[in-house]
Amino acid sequence: MLNASVGVQRVLERLRRPPSNRASSTSALKVRSLDAARRTRHDVVTAVAGSRLAAQRQRRMALLAAIRADRRSLVTRLGHDRTVAVAVAGILLAASAISASATGPAPATGGTNGPGTDVRIAVGGGFGSGRGGTVTEDAQPTADKLSNRSARTVVGAVDPGINGVDSGPVADAASGARGDAAGGAFLEDGTLLKPVAVNTTVADGSRLVRTYKVKPGDTLTGIASRFGISMMTIWWANDLQSKDALHVGQELSIPPVTGLVVTVTAADTLDSLAQRYDVDATDILVENKLSDPNLVVGQVLVIPGAAGKAIPTPKPVSQPSNRSSSGGGIISRGTSRPPATYTGGRFLWPVVGGGNYISQYFTYGHYGLDIAADYGSVVRAAVAGTVVFAGWKSNGGGYQVWISHGSNLYTTYNHMSSVTVGYGQSVAAGQQVGAIGQSGNATGPHVHFEVWRGPIWAGGIRVNPLAYE
């Protein structure tokens, strides 16, 4: 310190000299040796450095003294216990700051060389692919997740096209997966494929359709009434060719409501089906208990309120000629000409005997009355006229009788077990024409009674028989 002070004083003394003296000193310095100049420069640098060091030491001493005073003051104000707690908190904060500044971004974990320590599991779909499924992620920010190529496990991939469920990364496994020491196949981004067994059952309306086995005495109308649906619903669901084409033991599909049962094709959508059958798309979803509006090829759906094709009308046949036949064809018993005009009046009920009832009414697709009764019960003419056909026909009606009543009005009696009149015979109202049976395409003993306006199967139309009762 003493040397430094002396050096500083010498420098100051030289600076205070007058210009003349300064000039002479300069001249003297020029003649000094090189060694003297170097010693002078060293003395100046040493003096300045020593002065600065002394000043720094003084400032540090003053700061330490102030800290000690503040510490004693803080301890006095907070007490010893609180001071320790504050100190511990400060140490923790300082350690956290040092750790954050000393380390860079966390290195990516996982990959294709091992299971990794940062595993993400995606159930039912891949991460970042926009596909369906539940994804379990860590708490990394989104940017870090996209840049971190850590291992991810995909579980429960589903075959595409099953009720609108996407397959996730499994569909890419053939082209982008590879095996490694960890076992299993990995995608390029490190996703580990772990296929598991999944349920690929498609929800549809097939579970709503019941099965019924035809019993003796059953009719299509009676079965439909039992289940609270229309006769045509059973007709459409079972692709029947005749309303009486039933036999004992036959199994019928019974839809839950009146409507159609359809199978989805590749061209079908929910909206197209709703438009085609003029129904509400929401009703289709609700009836079939579906939550997904996307349909699958082969899916069975119940379309409530929909209607299919009408029962086909048999081709017209020519009026029979006057001839006799045994075992089939026409039964001839007279040559009376049909009346020219209908005399009017109400029709008689065509079945005699108690216990008979209408098993099926005149409806769309069923243009007559089915009147059930005991086998062999009397079937009679509803009104007077002339028989224009009596015998067997292979039109599904079995043994039948056609009667002309004039004014282009006709009646027919079908499915009888026997015929008691012949072609060309004149019959009175209430006269027996046959007996109850189930010939032709029929189940259960009954008569199918029709009223025609115009020639039968030759341009005429069938009307509701109850209009004439």
Last residue of a domain, one of 169, 194, 219: 194
Question: Once rounded to an integer, what is the mean pLDDT over residues 311-323?
Answer: 48
User: Residue 139: pLDDT above 60?
Assistant: no
Q: What local confidence, expressed as pLDDT, does residue 181 receive?
A: 43
CA distance 29 to 439: 152
Report the pLDDT value the prediction gives residue 354, as an integer from 0 to 100: 75
Whole-number pLDDT of residue 87: 78
Question: Is 112 among the domain residues?
Answer: no
Do 185 and 213 lie in a common domain?
Answer: no
Q: Is residue 126 a part of any domain in this protein?
A: yes
Dist. CA 154–CA 289, nearest whole Å: 30
Do both 347 and 457 map to the same domain? yes
Average pLDDT of the segment spanning 359-377: 90
**Could you give the CA distance from residue 310 to residue 7 in angstroms, rounded to a whole number?**
128
Look at residue 108 and tell me if it is in a domain: no
Q: Which amino acid belongs to residue 110?
A: G
- Whether residues 93 and 138 share a domain: the answer is no
Same domain for 88 and 147: no
Within this chain, do residues 286 and 415 fall inside the same structural domain, yes or no? no
Rounded to whole angstroms, the Cα distance separating 341 from 111 reads 98
Among 269, 287, 304, identify where a domain stops.
304
For strand 191-194 and strand 152-155, is the pairing parallel, antiparallel, or unpaired?
A: parallel
Q: State how many domains the chain has.
A: 4
Q: Percent of the chain having pLDDT more than 90?
A: 32
* Rounded (10°) CA dihedral 420, 426, 428, 432: 0
Asked if the structure places residue 83 within a domain, the reply is yes
Residues 340 and 457 in one domain: yes
Collapsing DSSP states into helix, strand and coil, what is residue 351? strand
Q: What is the CATH number of the domain that holds 233?
A: 3.10.350.10
- The answer for 239, left when phi > 0, alpha when psi is -120 to 50, beta otherwise, is left
Strands (E), 61-167: 120-123, 134-136, 152-155
Is there a single domain that holds both residue 183 and residue 294? no
Please say whether the beta carbons of 120 and 153 come within 8 A.
Answer: yes
- Least confident range of 162-166, 310-314, 429-433: 162-166
Q: Decide if 447 is inside a domain.
A: yes
Q: How confident is the model at residue 124 (pLDDT cuts 50, 70, 90)?
A: very low
Q: In a 10 Å sphere around its CB, with 0-12 CB exposed, 13-18 middle and 19+ buried, how is residue 321 labelled?
A: exposed
pTM: predicted TM-score of the whole model, two decimal places: 0.36
343 & 446 share domain: yes
> Domain containing 439 — which CATH number?
2.70.70.10
275/344 same-domain check = no
Q: Is the pLDDT of residue 432 over 90?
A: yes
Q: 80-102 and 34-78 helices cross at what angle (nearest 10)?
A: 130
In a domain, 113, yes or no: no
Q: Which of 45-54, 99-108, 221-230, 427-436 has the highest mean pLDDT?
A: 427-436
The secondary structure element, H or E, covering residue 211 is strand 210-213
Q: What is the pLDDT of residues 202-258, one digit of tens each?
A: 778 889 999 999 887 777 778 888 899 988 899 899 988 766 567 788 899 999 999
Domain that holds residue 44: 2-102
Among 259, 252, 258, which residue's Cα sits nearest to residue 273? 259
Domain termination site, one of 287, 304, 321: 304
Distance CA(294)–CA(272), nearest Å, equals 12
Say yes or no: 342 and 458 in one domain: yes
Give the per-residue pLDDT at 288: 93
Residue 219 near residue 359, CB atoms below 8 Å: yes
Q: What is the pLDDT of residue 224?
A: 87
User: pLDDT band at residue 466, thresholds of 50, 70 and 90?
Assistant: very high
In a domain, 321, yes or no: no
What is the pLDDT confidence band of residue 151, given thresholds at 50, 70 and 90? very low
Which residue, among 230, 284, 236, 278, has the nearest Cα to 257 in the 3D structure?
230
Q: Does residue 311 belong to any structural domain of this protein?
A: no
Q: Average pLDDT for residues 13-41, to the nearest whole number?
A: 57
Residues 210 and 170 in one domain: no
In this structure, are strands 398-404 and 120-123 parallel, antiparallel, or unpaired? unpaired
Confidence (pLDDT) at 197: 56
CA angle 40-44-50, nearest 5°?
140
Q: Are residues 371 and 456 in the same domain?
A: yes
Higher confidence at residue 136 or residue 98? 98
* Cβ neighbours of 367 (radius 10 Å): 19
What are φ and ψ of residue 330, in 5° steps? -100, 140
Amino acid making up residue 356: N
What whole-number distance in Å separates Cα of residue 17 and Cα of residue 45? 21
